[in-house]
């Protein structure tokens, strides 16, 4: 395997097929948080008299307003819940869309957004099953590692009062647990990458995909670990480059806002800040989608190179020649 060619091909595919950026945004590990600041009246605990202090006082203060806006709160929670479900659904669709489309493009076939969307929808339930099984495997391994270490520390604390012995055992147990996590979860993450491609590209079942992913890893342990290390180094390098580039762009865009704020021109500062944010947001989304598509393509191409999986490659080439 030529790792330089692998990186180049992943970049070429993700750059020339920019519709993949949409799927890459959701499949690339984009995190979203939903929350807000809810006033609690904590600053009034001591100044409202006995009848206004503690939990009853809080309820008396916020209760009427809370029930007056109950419908608004329910609607807000419904919108938040639907948004979370939408993001989860798009994440599942995007995983299948990227894996199938990158494999098809690597075979020389043409793909568009619509074909990717259909591929994602066609694999959505199996990808969901993949995540459920992956979660259960992860949970089981965490229990298998954590319980013995917890018992070791607990027994040590129970049988001895020596502070030195407790500290030594706790530190050694922590180091042992950390080593176990590294030894177990790095291979698991690699097997998980292969298993996802087994589901989408080879169309295997959910449980069989993990067996297939493990066999690929076991057959090419060295190359698989090197792929993981290259992915890690690329991730660090890309993160640093993106942070620096976006930091410079953001500084340039928000410089008028900063200057206007120092000049106490609040209205103009707000306007320029909104304009700068509107300009910067699409850049952030595009960069996130592009990097997500690249790293997903990297693992799909690595899977194809390791397995030699090229179903449909010869007919595609024949049609081009014809």
Query: What pLDDT is stored for residue 237 in this prediction?
Result: 94
Name the residue with higher pLDDT: 248 or 261.
Answer: 248
Residue 89 located in a structural domain: no
Do 186 and 225 meet the contact criterion of CB atoms below 8 Å apart? yes
Query: What pLDDT is stored for residue 47 in this prediction?
Result: 43
Residue 283 located in a structural domain: yes
Residue 263 located in a structural domain: yes
Averaged pLDDT for residues 177-203: 94
Total domains in the chain come to 1
Q: Please, which residues have CB within 8 angstroms of residue 24's CB and are 6 or more apart in sequence? A: 14, 94, 98, 288, 289, 290, 291, 292, 293, 294, 296
User: What are the pLDDT digits (tens) for 33-60?
Assistant: 333 433 334 344 344 444 444 445 544 5
Strand positions, DSSP E, 95-250:
none
Query: What pLDDT is stored for residue 266 in this prediction?
Result: 85
Give CA–CA dist 222/224, Å, rounded: 5
Domain region containing 281? 221-313
Query: What pLDDT is stored for residue 309 in this prediction?
Result: 60
Averaged pLDDT for residues 91-115: 92
> Is the per-residue pLDDT at 193 higher than 60?
yes
Residue 68 located in a structural domain: no
Residue 243 located in a structural domain: yes
Question: How many residues appear in the chain?
Answer: 322
Strand positions, DSSP E, the chain:
none
User: What are the pLDDT digits (tens) for 278-308?
Assistant: 999 999 999 999 999 999 999 999 999 999 8
Residue 113 located in a structural domain: no
Residue 192 located in a structural domain: no
Residue 251 located in a structural domain: yes
Query: What pLDDT is stored for residue 132 in this prediction?
Result: 96
> Is the per-residue pLDDT at 312 higher than 50?
no
């Amino acid at each position: 395997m030529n790792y330089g060619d692998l990186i180049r091909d992943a970049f070429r595919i993700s750059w020339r097929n920019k519709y993949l950026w949409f799927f890459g945004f959701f499949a690339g590990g984009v995190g979203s948080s939903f929350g807000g600041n809810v006033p609690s009246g904590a600053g009034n605990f001591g100044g409202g008299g006995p009848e206004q202090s503690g939990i009853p006082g809080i309820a008396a203060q916020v209760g009427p307003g809370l029930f007056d806006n109950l419908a608004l709160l329910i609607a807000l929670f419904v919108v938040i819940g639907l948004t979370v479900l939408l993001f989860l659904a798009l994440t599942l669709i995007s995983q299948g869309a990227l894996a199938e489309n990158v494999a098809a493009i690597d075979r020389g076939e043409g793909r568009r957004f619509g074909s990717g969307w259909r591929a994602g929808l066609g694999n959505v339930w199996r990808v969901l099953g993949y995540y459920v099984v992956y979660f259960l495997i992860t949970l089981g391994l965490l229990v298998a590692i954590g319980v013995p270490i917890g018992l070791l520390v607990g027994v040590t604390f129970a049988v001895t009062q020596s502070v030195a012995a407790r500290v030594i055992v706790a530190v050694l147990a922590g180091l042992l647990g950390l080593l176990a996590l590294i030894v177990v979860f790095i291979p698991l993450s690699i097997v998980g990458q292969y298993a996802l491609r087994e589901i989408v590209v080879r169309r295997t079942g959910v449980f069989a995909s993990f067996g297939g992913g493990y066999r690929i890893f076991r057959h090419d342990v060295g190359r698989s670990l090197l792929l993981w290390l290259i992915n890690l180094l690329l991730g660090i390098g890309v993160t640093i480059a993106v942070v620096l580039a976006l930091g410079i762009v953001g500084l340039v865009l928000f410089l008028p806002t900063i200057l206007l704020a120092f000049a106490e021109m609040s209205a103009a500062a707000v306007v320029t800040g909104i304009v700068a944010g509107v300009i910067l947001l699409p850049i952030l989304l595009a960069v996130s989608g592009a990097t997500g598509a690249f790293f997903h393509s990297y693992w799909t191409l690595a899977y194809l190179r390791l397995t030699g999986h090229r179903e449909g490659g010869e007919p595609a080439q024949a049609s081009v020649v014809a």
